[in-house]
Chain A
Amino acid sequence: MSWWSFERRWLAVIWQTLLPSGTPGGLALGARDVPMDRFLDELLACAPRRVTLGARLCVWLLTFCPLFVIGRPRTFPALAEEERRAVLAKLGQSDVYLVRELPTLFKMLGALGFAGLPAVQAEMGLAVRDSSAPDWAGEPKP
């Protein structure tokens, strides 16, 4: 099942907000620096349909939620980075279970790609067992 290119861009922004590059005191690599688009292809090719459908629905929900969460009449990708973070933080603190699980879902899906990459694991300090990238990642971006 393929996604529209704008849906893919929305998800890329969500992952880049969750996993920003160059955080002082944190990892230098972020979602922007690794081929998360290829991981999405892998996910769409392999994951159960209920998972990919659920993820797609959640992308739409997050994209159009800023008005209701921080009172800004813009889509999530159109917000400044600080505002995007504020949206995620507010959702994550919600008293409504399904709402606060929204950022967790994207974090969980992103983690399977991002934190499985040898370059990221090396930055985390792991003694990396497989130095080659997983199949889905192919050659790392320069």
Chain B
Amino acid sequence: MSGAIVELGDVRDQARVEDAADVVIIGTGAAGATAARVLTEAGLDVVMFEEGAHVRQEQLRSDMWSSFKHVWRDLGFQVASGRAFTPVLQGRCVGGTTTINGAIIHRMPEKIWARWRDEFGLGGALPYPELERIWDVLDRELFVGPAPESVLGKNNSLMRTATERLGIAGNLIRRNVSGCEGSAHCNQGCPTGRRQSMNVSYVPRSVAAGARVYATCPARSLITRRGRAAGVVGQFRDPLTGARGPEVVVHARRAVLLAASAIQTPLFLAKNRIGVGAGVLGKRLQAHPGTAVVGVFDAPVEMYRGATQGYESVHYWDERMKFETVAMPPELAMARLPGLGPELMRELAQYAHLAVWGVQVRAEAHGSVRAGLFGGTHIAYDMTDADIRVLKLGVRRLTEMMFAAGARQVLPGVHGLPHAISSVDELSPLFDAPDDPRLFHTIAAHLFGTALMGGSAFNSVVGPRFETHDLPGLFVIDSSVFPTNMGVNPQHSICALAWLAAERLV
């Protein structure tokens, strides 16, 4: 069959759309698109469901609101509730979160894999050499390489200066970009189409190999036949207005793959009463919460020139923290700056002199996901006291790095501290304050663990071959199955596990 991306506008006048494929995939992000790439090129017929729209490069604008509206989940307003409100960042479009992330590529640290092997018995199911083989292919196909010097920009090079002066390890970030122009617009959706997010790499590649993508079409329910997953029912829906279009029924001859993210996957399973018996579905949500520190420099930094995220330090990874640069768009910077009124307007006027770096915590905390009232999503997440102590130390170290790089002032963004500080010593009160997430403005990215993989139906949702214990033929292949977080950006690991799962279906 010939491939296509079908949206609501293409089928508005139809009463119902019916299709059939060997494999039906729910989700077009890192996991779903990678699986589609493997399956279509193995000769299987594939249909994909995607809740969000297919946003073309020419539709992308540089302002954050337009991006929130068309590319981000919940217009960027998705939050987790705990003692503090924590924005939870996800994409909702063809390509999923890969369309808005910083293009940071890491392989799963071996220490994490060893923990999965020793504590969760997954060594045999996910052999590290197999993952390495897949990462090598992904590296080639997604143009993974260190951020080039030509697009480093000052926000990134200043962190390199800081690490060199402080004698800590740092490196150019390995990114999945081909010919990056350094427009610092990763989070708005790459305006030049250079980042190899799934919407410009594996989705079109799969479509070229015959896959049909039903975009603006959330999956609603599973079709089962003789005790097996046998298809998916969805319905076209305008992502902005909610206006409904025709129902879509797709029959699966071989399997249904669920790759809708660690938030949407457990919701879909729960709605279809699958995996609820073990009591772990939607529980054990893990993440990488983080916060940003702003440095003010005498010389212009111009963080809007250069790779959005081009330099990092994993020097303190064993202490559960990772540092990375992040070119913050003006809208998000304004929300992050501490001033109000004239003070805020003066801070905005020196935007070109600001550097922004973040600390990402490999948090111990477990949260949960469930359907909220009136069709919404309820995410509960609260960092532990130990996580907060890591965050405090991370803020201190980032502050030291900012000053080492030559910052005139640092805006730590911590309640109870001065808006701007001129020495690290001024952070001391932070360590006398309670370990409370409400001291910080944090965000949570990289979500895991809400449909665990394991050997037994008593404590997990899927088995070592990614198939749900409850329903043969239904596979969960996204980061929901990860038993822990990783302390590094997970896209490559998500892709690799999905690749492995897909290979086993061929």
> What's the nearest-Cβ distance from chain A to residue B55, in Å?
14
> Total contacts A to B, CB within 8 angstroms?
124
Complex CA gap A124/B300 in Å reads 12
Question: Which one, A18, A101, A108, A117, contacts B341 given CB within 8 A?
Answer: A18
Given contacts A48-B376, A104-B335, A116-B65, contact A126 B349 (CB under 8 A): no
* A26 adjacent to B64 (CB under 8 Å): no
List the A residue with the shortest CB-CB distance to B439.
A97
* B348 adjacent to A128 (CB under 8 Å): no
Complex CA gap A47/B76 in Å reads 9
* A25 adjacent to B438 (CB under 8 Å): no
Complex CA gap A49/B74 in Å reads 10
Complex CA gap A100/B374 in Å reads 28
B466 within 8 A of A: no
* B341 adjacent to A17 (CB under 8 Å): yes
* B61 adjacent to A88 (CB under 8 Å): no
B145 within 8 A of A: no
A111 within 8 A of B: yes
B112 within 8 A of A: no
* A112 adjacent to B68 (CB under 8 Å): yes
A1 within 8 A of B: no
List the A residue with the shortest CB-CB distance to B77.
A51
B317-374 residues with Cβ-Cβ distance < 8 A to A are: 329-335, 340-342, 344-349, 351-352, 374
Question: Which one, B62, B83, B345, B415, contacts A100 given CB within 8 A?
Answer: B415
> What's the nearest-Cβ distance from chain B to residue A84, in Å?
8
* B334 adjacent to A115 (CB under 8 Å): yes
B305 within 8 A of A: yes
B57 within 8 A of A: no
* B341 adjacent to A20 (CB under 8 Å): yes
Among A2-10, A61-69, A129-137, the stretch that binds chain B is A129-137
Please encode chain A, from 93 to 117, with 1 for each CB lying within 8 Å of some chain B CB and 0 for all others. Answer: 0000100110110011011111111
Interface on B for A, CB 8 Å cutoff? 61-66, 68-69, 74-75, 77, 83-85, 183, 185, 191, 240, 300, 302, 304-305, 329-335, 340-342, 344-349, 351-352, 374, 376, 415, 438, 441
Given contacts A20-B341, A20-B345, A116-B65, 18 further A-B contacts (CB under 8 A): A23-B345, A23-B349, A27-B348, A46-B240, A47-B75, A48-B75, A48-B77, A100-B415, A101-B85, A111-B335, A115-B64, A115-B330, A115-B334, A116-B66, A121-B330, A123-B349, A126-B351, A127-B305
Listed A/B pairs (18) with beta-carbon separation below 8 Å: A19-B345, A26-B344, A27-B345, A27-B349, A46-B75, A85-B342, A88-B340, A112-B64, A114-B334, A115-B329, A115-B348, A116-B64, A124-B330, A124-B351, A125-B302, A129-B185, A134-B61, A134-B66
- Kindly list the 3 A-B residue pairs having the minimum CB-CB distance in the complex, ordered from nearest: A26-B345, A116-B63, A125-B352
